[in-house]
Amino acid sequence: MIIEVRKGHEQTVEHIKELAREVGVFVDIIHGRGISDTLHIIGDARPLFARQDYILELPGVVNCWRITCDYKNIARVVEGGNGNVVERERRTVCIPGPDGYVRKVGNAPHLFIVGPCTVQTREQVLSIARAARKIGEEFGIVDRIMLRGGAYKPRTRPTDFRGLGMDGIKLMDEAREETGLPYVSEVMDHNLVEELAQHVDMFQIGTRHAQDFDLLEAVGRSGKPVLLKRGFGNEAAEWFSAAEYVANQGNLNIVLCERGVKTLFAKEGYCRNTPDFNVIRYAREKTILPVIFDPSHAAGSDRIVCDNLLAAMAFQADGSITETIHEEAFRKHQLCDARQALLMDLYREVVEAMLKFEQLITPHLRTIDAYFASRK
Ligand code: PEP
Ligand code: MN
């Protein structure tokens, strides 16, 4: 549901927000460049739409219409049955760190998320976190670095190591405390969301849980930023609809993450999944959400991770989430995704390359994008 209100009618806007709250929905205000602002109702807007006649009579209300497009809470362009169309700005998702910097994804330079696949030892986690901080300081990008680390791990085989659980989360807490870098960690069980929300800075929903709708709603209710991986067999529209489950709870702090899809080529062994780089632009055009890329699960081998990262920059991903290892000697002890873990020294190298690449290509990509924007 969209409500257009002429600028300067603050009381009306406040009143509509109150009506929305009463029926359990939220208002996202899109400040227009013209004479009116657009109120986009997030959530199940039907009870509010039932009061359309009343709303239309409020001072300053120009129009009120129902949205007909799919995944309407996160859609970039929303359409009404009457032909009205509004293009929304892309969102910036903010993740504050205890060091006072706010990490921004979307409408901001590439965000670097880095850390182990799975938390195993204190030394492993702290070494990686310290090295990540050091890279941030060396290149003046501390505000663009954050950590990852899985404590609750989805495993294909039930006998494989499934993470340290709460002990792993506590190690991530410690890494954050020492380095000031916020972190993202996976949650698999909707019953754990409230407890984990006390710790993590951002929830990760993994590829296997990308269509666990109770879980998506639970992280939506938490209001925390959510990193939503694409289900490995999901069409783009299914992925966006999964994000819609989070958004429908009033939480638009969602970051989409492409991590490679299953193809028959993976059977040949040269990759674990096939990175669908093309979907990055599509997601950017179809949704208001930031889109990041996972070069590790899209590779399966550390040999391809750097190539993937540079490609992600070329495809204008808003960020990346990379699995790393602190020293080669640990590889034989690593219990999950050891083959694709990139040595931190190499990560430093590729970050430097990415930053140079970013400087070189950004002005040209702007020109190219402006051309296509004008051709619409
Ligand atoms: C992970 O990030 O470690 C992970 C399990 O990712 P995915 O859900 O994409 O396989
Ligand atoms: Mn992993």
Separation of alpha carbons 3 and 60, rounded Å: 10
Strands 145-148 and 183-186 turn out to be: parallel
Beta bridge partners of 85: 79
The ligand 1 atom nearest the CA atom of 117: 3
Q: Looking at the predicted structure, is the pLDDT value of residue 90 above 70?
A: yes
Task: Give distance in angstroms: CA of 341 to centre of ligand 1.
Answer: 12
pLDDT of 157-199, one tens digit each? 999 999 999 999 999 999 999 999 999 999 999 999 999 999 9
Token pair, residue 366, equals: 């702007």
Task: Give distance in angstroms: CA of 352 to centre of ligand 2.
Answer: 24
Q: Is the CB of 286 under 6 A from ligand 1?
A: no
Strands 26-30 and 36-42 turn out to be: antiparallel
Q: What residue's CA is closest to ligand 1, atom 10?
A: 207
Q: Which residue has the higher pLDDT, 43 or 363?
A: 363
Least confident range from 40-54, 69-83, 142-156: namely: 69-83
Which amino acid is it at 351? V
The per-residue b/e assignment along 124-151, b for 16 or more CB within 10 angstroms, e otherwise, is: bbbbbbbbbbebbeebebbbbbbbbbbb
pLDDT of residue 81: 67
* Ligand 1 mutation pick, 227, 232, 257, 294, max ligand atoms within 8 A of CB: 294
Q: Looking at the predicted structure, is the pLDDT value of residue 108 above 70?
A: yes
Q: Looking at the predicted structure, is the pLDDT value of residue 118 above 80?
A: yes
Confidence band, pLDDT 50/70/90 cuts, at residue 263: very high
The ligand 1 atom nearest the CA atom of 229: 9
Q: Looking at the predicted structure, is the pLDDT value of residue 262 above 80?
A: yes
Q: Is the CB of 229 under 6 A from ligand 1?
A: yes
Confidence band, pLDDT 50/70/90 cuts, at residue 36: confident
Domains of the chain listed by start with CATH number: 2-66 (3.30.70), 93-370 (3.20.20.70)
Q: Is the CB of 207 under 6 A from ligand 1?
A: yes
